[in-house]
Amino acid sequence: MKARLLELAGPRPTLGEARSALLDEAFEDLAAAPEHAEEHRLDVLDAGCGRRSPLLRYRDRIRRFAGADLHPPAPGELDYLDSFVRADLCRDADAFPPGSMDLVLSNFTLEHFADPAAALANMARWLRPGGRLVVTTVNRRHPFVGAYLSLPARLRGWLQRLVRPADAHPLVGACNDPQAVAVALRGAGLEAVRVETVGHLARAWARRWPTLLLGLLGDLAAGPFPGRRSTILATGSAPAR
Ligand SMILES: C[S@@+](CC[C@H](N)C(=O)[O-])C[C@H]1O[C@@H](n2cnc3c(N)ncnc32)[C@H](O)[C@@H]1O
């Protein structure tokens, strides 16, 4: 019933569809580069990988699959990674060698960073020339997201655990509107920066009926106003040599 409601009323593309489009494009472009002429497989990093990675579906197109997070995965989680590094992405610039990754994904991590500029600069530094960064994060220009981020930290934490118990890492929201994300990616030295938005509240809050219906209302209300949709997707490329 919930799935049907989301299908009927949820705006398209979904976050999953929009993110897959950016990742598909990145895999196709990067695997076609001359340095991958022999083996069309990429070195990728899920930066802030948490407990699951959207990059898993590309496993057979990945040569080296690295994950990094403040918290190590539980035994058995993220078994598909080739390596896991426990790192603070805002501080640990040496977590990976410069120029060692073809693709870095930051999936719902930017909103948690105390120093987003430093974290993005690190991710950009780890990219090879021409390598790609893909970011998803929340948009505080959506009225519900903005109101949520303005709540006292304690109340926000309680609400966060209610709707997203698995991902209850504290939110900061220091770089969380479409323009700020674009400026931050360019500030990290990335080129060809593109930013888009999708409505994702109903799906994100689908665990309970009241939050699902509230999310649906939020998605439908913001749908006609791209700058106010709940979720930001962005991409940029490291300068080619
Ligand atoms: C909302 S979860 C998203 C997890 C995963 N990317 C996903 O899509 O399911 C945010 C993740 O970012 C990690 N994180 C937050 N701040 C971080 C930092 N400064 N350095 C490394 N990881 C961080 C958290 O530990 C958490 O696993």
pLDDT digits (tens, 9 = 90+) for 83-122: 999 999 999 999 999 999 999 999 999 999 999 999 999 9
Give the length of the chain.
241
CA of 191 relative to ligand 1 center, distance in Å: 25
Helices 178-187 and 116-126, packing angle to 10 deg:
50
Q: Strands 231-237 and 127-138, how do they pair? A: antiparallel
pLDDT of residue 2: 81
pLDDT at 12 over 90: no
Mutate to test the pocket of ligand 1, among 69, 120, 126, 149 (most ligand atoms within 8 A of CB): 69
* 37 CA from centroid of ligand 1 (Å): 33
Cα of 169 to ligand 1 centre, how many Å? 7
For residue 228, count CB atoms less than 10 angstroms from its CB and return exposed for 0-12, middle for 13-18, buried for 19 or more.
buried
Ligand 1 centroid to 54 CA: how many Å? 13
Q: Measure the N-to-C terminal CA separation of the chain; round to a whole number of Å.
A: 52
**Ligand 1 pocket, residues with Cβ under 6 angstroms:** 48-50, 52, 69-71, 87-90, 107-109, 112-113, 167, 169
- What would the two tokens of residue 136 be? 């998803």
Taking CA atoms only, the protein residue closest to ligand 1 atom 25 is 70
pLDDT value of position 165: 62
- 167 CA to middle of ligand 1, Å? 8
From 44, 169, 231, the mutation candidate for ligand 1 (largest count of ligand atoms within 8 A of CB) is 169
6-43 as b/e: b if 16+ CB within 10 A? beeebbeebbeebbeebbeebbeebbebeeeeeeebbb
Q: What is the mean pLDDT of residues 120-126?
A: 98
**Ligand 1 atom showing the smallest separation from residue 52 Cα:** 9
**CA angle (57 as vertex; 52, 61 as ends), nearest 5:** 120
| Centre of ligand 1 from the C-alpha of residue 132, in Å | 19
The lowest-confidence range among 2-6, 132-136, 163-167, 236-240 is 163-167
Which contiguous run of DSSP H or E holds residue 138? Answer: strand 127-138
